[in-house]
Amino acid sequence: MAVHFKHVVIIGVGLIGGSLGMVIRRKALADQVTGVGRRVENLKTAVALGAIDRYVADPQEAVRGADLVVLATPVDTYERHLQEWAHCLSMGAIVSDVGSVKGRLVEQSESAMPPGVHFVGAHPIAGKEKTGVAAGSDQLFNGARCIQTPTKQSDSTALARVRQLWEEAGSIVLTMDPYVHDQILGAVSHLPHVAAFALMNALAELRDQQVPSLDLAGHSGGGLRDTTRIAASSPEMWRDIFLWNRDNVVSYIDRYTRALDELKQLIKAGDAAGIEKSLERAKGEREKLSSAAPSHP
């Protein structure tokens, strides 16, 4: 039998929160889905799109009696949210999330739980260049990965119920330590985002200060567009991710800068064999990615 909740509350009904609501309502995985958010217009849209049954303005009122509360707001807001309403949760309730960073965020969220309430960290990996519930779909997570990040404190029943929820959404659920999650996502997702954001900024400066005839839109092609696609991602969301995964991201930028400098020194020295060896290595590593399965940002 499919997992079932009495009352699910989604805090932050955007692309991810809203899509999860659509899955739960479409598959009748809960008796009731309530949305909480800052903007009433957005919540009305969420009701119209079938992402939630209803919304309430007061989160304390919303979470009272809920058996699952999902944080789907920017990760930097978790602490404030939990301080506001965690004490209203009933014994046995589960708080989960959809944040792109884990580590310290999971640790802090766990320690904000009242007795008998269980936190389960989760990171559904799904298209985040778009934002807003209007871009949502009950198919968003279908075939995508969702990383669950249990700790020593985790409750096994709560973990199993949240896992089942994501499996109902069509996700492939992986398990990782929260800090390992941040090391790995820092590498495959956060560093590429830094690279893309910085590349766009470097090219804009190049145009403004050095090559006035450079028309980025007119002269660019598929290579530049692919390489920088993720630079169009949400600045608010990525600001928080970079800050919450600060140590890894800073250390990875250093490593990337060293790789760039190594290639630069080879080019500067005219070391044809050295350049070719470096590019061969990169090509070999890139070709191993091609068979990789589901997409995420």
CA distance 76 to 165: 24
Among 31, 58, 79, 236, binds its own copies (CB under 8 A): 236
CA distance 94 to 120: 7
Contact 112, 89 (CB under 8 A): no
Q: Cβ 161 to its own copies, closest distance in Å?
A: 25
**96-130 as b/e, with b when 16 or more CB fall inside 10 Å?**
bbbbbbbbebbbebbebbeeebbbbbbbbbbbbeb
Three-class SS state of 225: helix
Q: Cβ 18 to its own copies, closest distance in Å?
A: 21
Choice between 57 and 282, CB closer to its own copies: 282
User: Contact between 294 and its own copies (CB under 8 A)?
Assistant: yes
Choice between 1 and 292, CB closer to its own copies: 292
Q: Cβ 214 to its own copies, closest distance in Å?
A: 5
Residue 144's alpha-carbon distances to 36, 103, 181, 249, 293, in angstroms, are 25, 21, 16, 24, 9
Q: Cβ 53 to its own copies, closest distance in Å?
A: 32
Q: Scanning residues 240 to 269, which ones bind its own copies (CB under 8 A)?
A: 242-243, 246, 249-264, 267-268
Q: Cβ 172 to its own copies, closest distance in Å?
A: 11
CA distance 156 to 187: 29
Choice between 31 and 205, CB closer to its own copies: 205
* Total residues at interface with its own copies (CB under 8 A): 97
Choice between 46 and 191, CB closer to its own copies: 191
Q: Scanning residues 208 to 227, which ones bind its own copies (CB under 8 A)?
A: 210-211, 213-214, 216-227
Q: Cβ 46 to its own copies, closest distance in Å?
A: 25
Q: Cβ 179 to its own copies, closest distance in Å?
A: 11
Instruction: Region of 32 please: left (phi>0), alpha (psi -120 to 50) or beta.
Output: beta
Three-class SS state of 118: strand
User: Contact between 285 and its own copies (CB under 8 A)?
Assistant: yes
User: Contact between 135 and its own copies (CB under 8 A)?
Assistant: no
Choice between 2 and 267, CB closer to its own copies: 267
Choice between 111 and 257, CB closer to its own copies: 257
CA distance 186 to 158: 27
Tell me the CB-side half-sphere exposure of residue 178, using CA atoms within 13 A. 24
Counted residue by residue, the chain has a size of 297
Choice between 116 and 143, CB closer to its own copies: 143
Q: Scanning residues 145 to 184, which ones bind its own copies (CB under 8 A)?
A: 145, 180, 183-184
Choice between 54 and 283, CB closer to its own copies: 283
Binding mask 67-106 for its own copies (x = CB under 8 A): ---------x------------------------------
The pair of three-digit structure tokens given for residue 223, joined into one six-digit string: 């290579």
Question: Which residues pair with residue 147 across a beta bridge?
Answer: 123, 174
**Of 55, 19, 23, nearest to 37 (Cα)?**
55
Q: Cβ 100 to its own copies, closest distance in Å?
A: 11
